[in-house]
Amino acid sequence: MSLNIVRYENGNGIGLVLISNPPVNALSAEVVAGLRKAVDIFEADTSAKALVLHCEGRTFVAGGDIANFETPNFDTRPFSSLLSRLDESPRPVVATLHGTVLGGGLELAMSCHHRLALPDTRLGMPEVKLGLLPGSQGTQRLPRLVGVPLALDLMLTGRFISAQDALAAGILDEIASDDSLALGIAAAERLAEANLPVRRSSTLNVSADAATRQALAEATARAAKKPNYPALGAIVRAVEAAVNLPFSDGEEMEAREFDQLRLSSTSRALRHLFFAERTAARIPGLSREGAAREVHSVGIVGAGTMGGGIAMNFANVGIPVVLVEATDEALKRGLSVVRNNYEASAAKGKLSKEEVEKRMSLLNGSLDYGSLASCDLVVEAVFEDFYIKKDVCARLGQICKKGAIIATNTSTLDVDLLAEATGRPADVVGMHFFSPANVMRLVEVVRGARTAPDVLTTAMRLARRIGKVPVVSGVCYGFIGNRMLDPYIREMEFLLLEGAEPQQIDNAIESLGMAMGPCRMSDLSGVDIGAKVVNGRLEAGELPPDPSYRVVVRKLFALGRCGQKTKAGYYRYDGRTPLPDPKIVDICADLAREHGIARRRDIKDQEIIERLMYPLINEGIQILDEGIAYRPGDIDVVWTAGYGFPDYRGGPMFMADQIGLSEIKNTLDHYARMRGNQFGYWTASRLLESLAATGQRISAWTKQ
Ligand code: 3H9
């Protein structure tokens, strides 16, 4: 065949289709065209008794090529009609599976008459994570093979299942011990020999029993609660069609739903994030295969909430950890919090008891810095205070073995100064985990001025190894995320001073899809933490010369209102439930009087959204211009993976393009006029100004 990525061979009377499209054999237009040619040849090749479909490389087809979905006239129908030809073949068609059989890959496999897989194969329908539904007959075939409840579960969650579970469920016919291709050919010969009618998934009956009706009703109700994820409802409708309509009608309906979803803003945003997360792992100027250092053991200084959470990440993947604390009491407390976390997971059935013990056995406490001497990587996770961290870094510089990496978990401090304190700045990198560190996906990997390339590469790979999404940031106050948070919180406080109440601000921001409004978030993370950062910056002369800047957080801290932990902050608390607190109104009214800020009654939700989000976006664009973030997509990953920004909006940079950069610029100008701009709060960044003037998009911007 002319197309190399799909080859057809006839070996001893068995047709063989080999797909080779690294890295994951995604169904690009070329693969689909190649498959069509291969099936043409097989159909004409009367000497072939059966057909085997096999993929070279690390996996069977992992799905449709996601990049292709941007093509304006993309259509799933040509691929679907190819699947129908395989399904309708009178001669047996066998799929041999390995790796990750996902989306269009599983649809391809399900159109075959017999499926066998290597034992470590994983299968799934992850389209929903891209805001899509399976678009090539998957919604029609899967319920026929496994029944509606499991089909809905797999398609609505996008979770993967093991080959063993797929066998039990009826997706697979056999598990191959090894050499799936040889066993696939043997199966094809066996089936051809038997000369029985082939088993077509399209002709199986879907059970319409009580369990089916209940699963559909529950899924419909759940989908209705999430209108920002239209794929959920579409999946349920397509599965209902599988139950009620002939295969071809269900297929047509599925194709129509796919077309609509593909063009939806949610799917565009989720597809953008899919690629942004993977692109973020690339470091300009460094090769992807570049040298890295070996990390077989990790030390952590500080067994508080952060240190303990960070330690869990490493233990989860089998890396032994030494946790160092100053006192026996703090160490015991830290380790028992970790144990409680693991046991809570075990109670929910997410972890076995043995696994809890195995992970705990990888965590060793110590009161002696000397026990860090043999670690390949040491993360300092002590209190966010420059002098404390500097002191710890200096000690680590002395104690850590030659070649060991020293990582600081600072969230705001100058990584270059901490690196200098170690006396070996090339070994130092920032690894900023987000709380709770065992849960949150983001790690900002902070590249210091003197961080060695192999240290940066190691930190990025290690973060991926522990299941995190790493993003590189340059050194500046707050790195990417917390720096952008600064104007957002600033405006939250000004709005409080002008007369908005915490619940109005939070509701407005949550209506945008943010997981948590800024007042609730500040109460959760600790008003004291926020106030100390502001006070530290004040001492360092880093604040704008504005006497009213961040006065609310400082006042609340002075009053001992530290947030949820003291049962009072921006709200008062009944357990963990925030309740409006009239005292906050009085505190803000007094502060407004003190600072000559007029109170208003006309603050609308739209103003809240614009005043919090547009300066945040402006700061993000400024960060790009300064080279602190490499790409707009990196910023989107930071906000969606670390700050509860709604993934269906694609992140602040993606959202900025939806709003329009000139609209953002004009709105900043409007607030500059309305609020005054003595401190430059509303000044559009140079880059925003120029992109807005020329009608360009920030998502398409790259640094020259
Ligand atoms: C679909 O199938 C719709 C159908 O129903 C209808 C249409 C036919 N397309 O994640 P990794 C790239 S929707 C294009 O770093 P891992 C990825 O960008 C699709 N590219 O590796 C990366 O490129 P680069 C349903 C893809 O080992 C490289 O492969 N399928 C695709 O950690 C390695 O990826 C999915 O949603 C793709 N489909 O994980 C599966 N998949 O190196 C999505 C991967 O240049 N993919 N790439 O940055 C995954 O879940 C993971 O990539 C996978 C491997 C588990 C496969």
- State whether the beta carbon of 27 lies less than 6 angstroms from ligand 1: yes
Pairwise CA distance, residues 390 & 413, whole Å: 10
Determine the distance separating the centroid of ligand 1 and the alpha carbon of 630, expressed in angstroms.
23
- State whether the beta carbon of 136 lies less than 6 angstroms from ligand 1: yes
Quick check: 1 pLDDT over 60? Answer: no
- State whether the beta carbon of 23 lies less than 6 angstroms from ligand 1: yes
Average pLDDT over residues 523-550: 93
Pairwise CA distance, residues 273 & 278, whole Å: 8
- State whether the beta carbon of 130 lies less than 6 angstroms from ligand 1: yes
Beta bridge partners of 18: 7, 54
Determine the distance separating the centroid of ligand 1 and the alpha carbon of 51, expressed in angstroms.
26
Determine the distance separating the centroid of ligand 1 and the alpha carbon of 62, expressed in angstroms.
6
Contact 100, 65 (CB under 8 A): no
Q: Mention every residue, 6+ apart, whose C-beta is less than 8 A from residue 318.
A: 362
pLDDT digit string (tens) for 628-686? 999 999 999 999 999 999 999 999 999 999 999 999 999 999 999 999 999 999 999 99
What is the DSSP code string of 188-216? HHHHHHHTPPP--GGGSPPP-SHHHHHHH
Pair of tokens at residue 645: 């920004």
The preferred substitution site among 5, 19, 21, 24 for testing ligand 1, maximizing ligand atoms within 8 Å of CB, is 24
Quick check: 599 pLDDT over 90? Answer: yes
Determine the distance separating the centroid of ligand 1 and the alpha carbon of 140, expressed in angstroms.
23
The preferred substitution site among 28, 66, 634 for testing ligand 1, maximizing ligand atoms within 8 Å of CB, is 66
3-state secondary structure 133-150: CCCCCHHHHHHHHHCHHH
Helices 230-244 and 210-224 cross at an angle (nearest 10°) of 160
Q: Which atom of ligand 1 is nearest to the CA of 107?
A: 5
3-state DSSP helix/strand/coil % of the chain, to nearest 5: 55, 10, 35
- Residue 37 backbone dihedrals phi, psi, to 5 degrees: -60, -45
pLDDT digit string (tens) for 462-480? 999 999 999 999 999 999 9
Total residue length of the chain: 704
Determine the distance separating the centroid of ligand 1 and the alpha carbon of 63, expressed in angstroms.
7
Q: Mention every residue, 6+ apart, whose C-beta is less than 8 A from residue 673.
A: none
- State whether the beta carbon of 79 lies less than 6 angstroms from ligand 1: yes
- State whether the beta carbon of 104 lies less than 6 angstroms from ligand 1: yes
Q: Mention every residue, 6+ apart, whose C-beta is less than 8 A from residue 33.
A: 3
Contact 171, 145 (CB under 8 A): yes
Contact 101, 62 (CB under 8 A): yes
Beta bridge partners of 299: 322, 378
Determine the distance separating the centroid of ligand 1 and the alpha carbon of 641, expressed in angstroms.
18
Pair of tokens at residue 567: 């049962």
- State whether the beta carbon of 103 lies less than 6 angstroms from ligand 1: yes
Pairwise CA distance, residues 451 & 246, whole Å: 62
Beta-strand relationship, 6-11 and 572-574: unpaired
Quick check: 305 pLDDT over 60? Answer: yes
Mean pLDDT value across the chain: 96
Which residue is closest in CA terms to ligand 1's atom 36?
Answer: 126
Q: Which atom of ligand 1 is nearest to the CA of 125?
A: 25
Cα 619-634-74 angle, rounded to 5 deg: 120
pLDDT digit string (tens) for 157-189? 999 999 999 999 999 999 998 899 999 999 999
Q: Tell me the residue type at 486.
A: D
- In whole angstroms, how large is the CA radius of gyration of the chain? 28
Domains belonging to the chain, first-starting first, are 6-263 (3.90.226.10), 298-473 (3.40.50.720), 481-700 (1.10.1040.50)
State the residue for tokens 């989720």: 270
Active site amino acids: 411, 432, 444, 482
pLDDT digit string (tens) for 107-117? 999 999 999 99
pLDDT digit string (tens) for 321-358? 999 999 999 999 999 999 999 999 999 999 999 999 99
- State whether the beta carbon of 102 lies less than 6 angstroms from ligand 1: yes
- State whether the beta carbon of 124 lies less than 6 angstroms from ligand 1: no
Pairwise CA distance, residues 47 & 50, whole Å: 9
pLDDT number for residue 313? 98
Q: Which atom of ligand 1 is nearest to the CA of 129?
A: 36
Q: Tell me the residue type at 381.
A: A
Q: With bands split at pLDDT 50, 70 and 90, how would you rate the model's confidence at 2?
A: very low
Q: Tell me the residue type at 685.
A: S
| 516 DSSP 8-state letter | S
Q: Under DSSP, is residue 540 helix (H, G, I), strand (E, B) or coil?
A: coil
Which residue is closest in CA terms to ligand 1's atom 44?
Answer: 24
- State whether the beta carbon of 150 lies less than 6 angstroms from ligand 1: no
pLDDT number for residue 132? 98
Determine the distance separating the centroid of ligand 1 and the alpha carbon of 149, expressed in angstroms.
26
Q: Mention every residue, 6+ apart, whose C-beta is less than 8 A from residue 187.
A: 94, 114, 116, 173, 174
* Count of helix runs (H) and strand runs (E) in the chain: 28, 19
Q: Mention every residue, 6+ apart, whose C-beta is less than 8 A from residue 679.
A: 544, 545, 546, 549
Q: Under DSSP, is residue 102 helix (H, G, I), strand (E, B) or coil?
A: strand
Cis peptide before 320 (omega within 30 of 0): no
Beta-strand relationship, 428-433 and 442-446: antiparallel
Q: Under DSSP, is residue 684 helix (H, G, I), strand (E, B) or coil?
A: coil
Determine the distance separating the centroid of ligand 1 and the alpha carbon of 24, expressed in angstroms.
7
pLDDT number for residue 373? 97
